[in-house]
Amino acid sequence: MAINPQSFFNFAAQNYPLLHDIFRRSGGMNDAELSELIRRHRIGLESPAALIEKLINLKIIEPLPDATASYEMTRTVAVLFRFLLQEQRLTSTAVIQAYLDELEQEQADLDHAMCDDKHTLIERALDEITETMERIRQDSRANREAIINEVMTVKSNREKRTVSERFEVILYLWNHYIEPLKDLIDVRKTMDASLDSLDRLLKHGAEQFLLDGALYREFSRCSVRLVRLRRDITADFHESMHEVEPLYVSLKQDSTLAKGVAQALERIGKEGIKSLNLPAALAIPSGWLREGLFDNTDIEAFLHNVRGYQPQEPPVINLGTEGPSPRFIPPDELIDTLRKSLPVGDVLQWLLDLYEGYPFPELLRAYGRIFGSDAFKTGFSREEKSYRLPGMTVFARPLAVEAIP
């Protein structure tokens, strides 16, 4: 039975504390516990039994499958609460890969519908592609939020976990979410090729149905969503990496040190400190351990001599000529210059020619601004090209940009 949205949100607004407590009971609750929660938060004169029935009818709670007279919050409402409270759960890359497989099937359906010139099937295929892309994007964003929340929990360490326990949490995130996603979005892997193929199909559809205003708009909107999907997935990955990597490196070092200390202490407890053979391990010459040390009289005399010392200003070293100041490409100037040069078939070569002599990191920043800009339509060529630069050779697929119609 369909739920009246207005009734649902009115009930949720009036009973938010109750719904929040039900959400926090992730393991479910029996009938007595739920009735007690209702009595604690009840606003009107409705009985607990009547409110339980209303919670079930609005699909806010449902019976537990393995218990009698016990309830839990439905998954749909729990997902909404996690979104509102910024407590998203992690989605594995296997789920995202399944979305990509589904996207390829929908792409094939769209291709067949375009060949048969069946407008209804084309619209349906575009709707399904849009829905799948948005699910991928939302799961990617939820993963980023969940990873950041996990990192903040590890940093705050309110549960007083050991270094090894915290490192296990970060290692799990690294191995199960960061590394697989890095492999998934690699420009040489299947995801990039699949999205490139979809991009070409959408552009072909926009050209094929140029005179059909409704279909042309749908193809254009779908293309823009695809650009946003690629940009957001990349941004989410880099943001997650930015949060996890420093903590991963730091905790890995601390965990290794802690394990070494624990092993050393255990050995000392069993065999004594001589079992570590520290002079040999630290390369300390036997019998010379006290040679070269100062006695208290020498130290006192030295401190007496330096008392009252006033340091002098260090001499200025004249280097002759000033070094070149760093060169920066203003973003607004970059976009305006590119807009006047459209279309551009190879953005990186265009940057190398136009800004010759600029440091390569600055050219890469400019390249990233162009790729992430919403002012152009972008697409990568299928063939890889090499770019020779001073001291290095860069291999990349040329990025072409043109104006958005």
Residue 3 backbone dihedrals phi, psi, to 5 degrees: -100, 135
Closest CA to 362 of 348, 376, 372, 375: 348
Is there a contact between 154 and 248 (Cβ–Cβ < 8 Å)?
no
What separation in angstroms does the CA of 251 have from each of 35, 139, 153, 393? 45, 27, 14, 35
Q: Half-sphere exposure of residue 192, counting CA atoms within 13 Å on the CB side?
A: 16
Q: What is the pLDDT of residue 110?
A: 92
Q: What whole-number distance in Å separates Cα of residue 157 and Cα of residue 159?
A: 5
- pLDDT recorded at residue 175: 78
Q: Residues 6 or more apart from 206 whose CB is under 8 A from it?
A: 216, 219, 220, 223
Centroid of chain to Cα 52: 39
| 248/112 Cα distance (integer angstroms) | 47
Q: b/e per residue, 350-368, with b = 16+ CB within 10 A?
A: bbbeebeebeeeebeebbe
The per-residue pLDDT for 324 is 47
Torsion, CA 337, CA 343, CA 346, CA 351, rounded to 10: -10
Contact of 21 with 41, CB cutoff 8 Å: yes
Among 389, 399, 400, smallest CA distance to 357 is for 389
Estimate to the nearest angstrom the gap between the alpha carbon of 233 and the chain centroid. Answer: 7
> pLDDT at position 282, please?
62
What's the N-to-C CA distance of the chain in angstroms? 45
pLDDT in the model for residue 139: 82
CA–CA–CA angle 96, 99, 103 (5° rounding): 140
pLDDT means over runs of 10, the chain (405 residues): 84 87 83 86 78 88 80 86 72 78 90 90 92 86 81 80 78 78 65 84 90 88 89 83 79 67 67 67 56 63 72 67 60 84 89 86 85 82 85 86 79
- Collect all residues with Cβ–Cβ distance below 8 Å to 254 and sequence separation of at least 6: 163, 167
Q: Which two tokens stand for residue 377?
A: 């339509």
Q: What angle do CA 181, 187, 191 make, to 5 degrees?
A: 60
Residue 318 is given by DSSP the state -
- Listed residue (139, 137, 138, 114) closest to 125, CA to CA: 114
Question: Cis bond leading into 398, ω under 30°?
Answer: no
What is the model's pLDDT at position 111? 92
Q: Is residue 403 a contact partner of residue 342, using CB atoms and an 8 Å limit?
A: yes
What pLDDT score was predicted for residue 109? Answer: 92
d(CA 60, CA 15) in angstroms, rounded, equals 12
3-state secondary structure of 321: coil
CA–CA gap between residue 340 and residue 141 (Å, rounded): 35
User: Considering the domain 5-84 in this protein, what is its CATH number?
Assistant: 1.10.10.10
Token pair listed for 58: 């609005």
The Cα 282–Cα 150 span in angstroms is 39
Strand 29-30 versus strand 70-73 pairing type: antiparallel
Q: How many residues does the chain have?
A: 405
Contact 387, 348 (CB under 8 A): yes
Given this model, what pLDDT does residue 186 score? 65
Local structure of 289: helix, strand or coil: coil
Pairing of strands 376-380, 61-63: unpaired
